[in-house]
A and B are shown apart, each in its own frame.
Chain A
Amino acid sequence: MSDNPDFTPNEMMTIAASRALRNDDVCFVGIGAPSAACNVARLTHAPDITLIYESGTIGTAPDVLPLSIGDGELCETAVTTVAVPEMFRYWLQGGRISIGFLGAAQLDKFGNINTTVIGDYFHPKTRLPGGGGAPEIATSSKEIYITMAQTKRGMVEKIDFFTSFGHGEGGDHRKRLGIDTAGPTLLITDLAIWKPDPATKEFTVVSLHPGVTRQQVQETCGWMVKFAQALDETPAPSELELTTLRDLQARTKAAHEGSGKAKAA
């Protein structure tokens, strides 16, 4: 996929996502790809970033990536740990979160996400875990970043269920529902960086990762892709970014395979 053999598309995705976070962000972290990106940001250019997991851990700094949103290390390294109702009422609903960082099973071009069902809700072909915190993260965080690897099954013209609301049908749909937060402002995939068109809110490719072609982006996306007129190339990962990510993943692998032996709660 890439001309450069020195990094994988997934590493590029995680590192590109990490760069979008700022040192003063207060980030509500989704598990999986968002969690890796947020911690790479914390370990490189954003050491003071506040990472919040929905288990109630505020300002956490884990040494390994948590397998779940409630791993013990999140609590041990947090500035404070609050009860779940407080998490959702005071901190999320209260407007304290600058970035909600979500992954997606199914995504459409307006940043609406489905992690609930494939098929009909009452007679599902595949029952997925559901929304968890996402429905309110998507509307109460000031902005939403989304990260996922591109596939035709994942990036679809029409999602089967609106687990969390992005820009709905596009345009001013959020405003019409009385939602005053910005919603999805950034999508980082393994091939490209996307931003919503200012008027239509449709995700548009603004930067291709090194070595990636427009055709590759289209072949792995279920909707007709729009490209910005001035298309950038995403800077390749730096030595520091790559080393940080790989060390983090190696520590994580060792800890999880070790049945928790490596680090007790």
Chain B
Amino acid sequence: MVKFLPLKQAVAENLNDGDAVAFEGFTHLIPTAAAHEAIRQGFRDLTLIRMTPDLIYDQMIGMGMAKKIVFSYVGNPGVGLLRRARDAIENGFPRSIEIEEHSHAGMANAYEAGAAGLPCAVFRGYRGAGLAAVNPNIKSVTCPFTGEVLAAVPSIRPDVTFIHAQKADRNGNVLVEGIIGIQKEAVLAAKRAVVTVEEVVDNFDDLHPNLTVLPRWTIAAISVVPGGSHPSYAHGYYARDNAAYLEWDEIAADREKFQAWMQANVIEKSADDFAARVEHLRKAA
């Protein structure tokens, strides 16, 4: 049953060295605070899974925490390249990492298959695409009814998934709104799920019946971290800090500048520092 815990404890209880872990968020609701807590606790040899590894995976890779990444778009969204990830892939710095690359359709189907308890996902994909030749986990199956050759990829089953969401009720049910991305599938595909939320409300009695709500018994731990997805955004709470994404390009371009930034902004900070970072991005209303 779900426990409300300080983020430090939620991460310590649920993440281990060597885990396959997904910190999911499709541009929106990225679980930055949870990732920063994992960085402070110094986990090693992680397999990092995410459709769109952006700043937080650039940071974790740059800190030498990843032995492998599974992804479908390794970019700084709207800005360009991820320079710490590039340094690892191109130069093996600070350590060489294994990569398993898919398309968005491949990853989305694989998470859905994981949530559905299937061993693999089947879809119409990768036709003529170079990834099928370099990723041995992209195979094909023939439809037994029509003979059509379809793509198959193994399902994604993380040891633990971290997501950020708008709110929990007092019982620990969680509401995700706006661009919901792959969060529901990533939680249901994982052995354990940890959710950071903007706030806790008394109950969800006034919600529309078809909203995306994760029942409390699908979640291991909830931590209340206002601003916890900065510089990403939380729909209804605060806007995306586009300037921070642009600035990251310069910070990550230089190994020493990166280390100095991580020391000052992650290592020496805590989850409590996130609320102030989104103050200027909150809706005036």
Residues of A whose CB lies within 8 Å of any CB of B are: 31, 54-57, 66-72, 74-75, 81, 83-85, 87-89, 92-93, 116, 121-122, 124-136, 138-140, 161-165, 168, 173-174, 177-179, 255-257, 259-261, 263-265
Nearest-neighbor residue (CB-CB) of B109 within chain A: A85
Determine if B255 is an interface residue (Cβ-Cβ < 8 Å): no
Q: What 0/1 pattern do residues 113 to 142 of B give for CB contact below 8 A with A?
A: 000000000011111111100100000000
Determine if B28 is an interface residue (Cβ-Cβ < 8 Å): yes
Assuming the contacts A72-B240, A93-B123, A161-B130, asked whether A83 and B184 have C-beta atoms less than 8 A apart, the reply is: yes
Task: List, in ascending order, chain B residues with CB within 8 A of A68's CB.
Answer: 27, 77-78, 240, 245
Task: List, in ascending order, chain A residues with CB within 8 A of B26's CB.
Answer: 55-56, 70, 84
B74 touches A135 (CB 8 A): no
Task: List, in ascending order, chain A residues with CB within 8 A of B72's CB.
Answer: 130-132
A89 touches B242 (CB 8 A): no
Within the complex, the shortest CB–CB distance from A32 to chain B, in Å, comes to 8
The interface on chain B, measured as residues whose beta carbon lies within 8 A of the other chain's beta carbons, has a size of 67
Segment among B8-16, B99-107, B218-226, B267-275 that sits at the interface with chain A: B99-107
Task: List, in ascending order, chain B residues with CB within 8 A of A165's CB.
Answer: 127-129
User: By DSSP majority rule, is chain A's interface helix, strand, loop, or mixed?
Assistant: loop
Within the complex, the shortest CB–CB distance from B122 to chain A, in Å, comes to 11
A67 touches B79 (CB 8 A): yes
Determine if B108 is an interface residue (Cβ-Cβ < 8 Å): yes
Task: List, in ascending order, chain A residues with CB within 8 A of B242's CB.
Answer: 67, 255-256, 259-260
Select A134's contact among B51, B103, B111, B212, beta carbons within 8 Å: B103
3 tightest CB-CB pairs across the interface, nearest first?
Answer: A70-B27, A165-B128, A129-B75
Assuming the contacts A72-B239, A135-B125, asked whether A92 and B105 have C-beta atoms less than 8 A apart, the reply is: yes
Assuming the contacts A89-B109, A135-B126, asked whether A57 and B78 have C-beta atoms less than 8 A apart, the reply is: no
Task: List, in ascending order, chain A residues with CB within 8 A of B108's CB.
Answer: 84-85, 87-89
Determine if B71 is an interface residue (Cβ-Cβ < 8 Å): yes
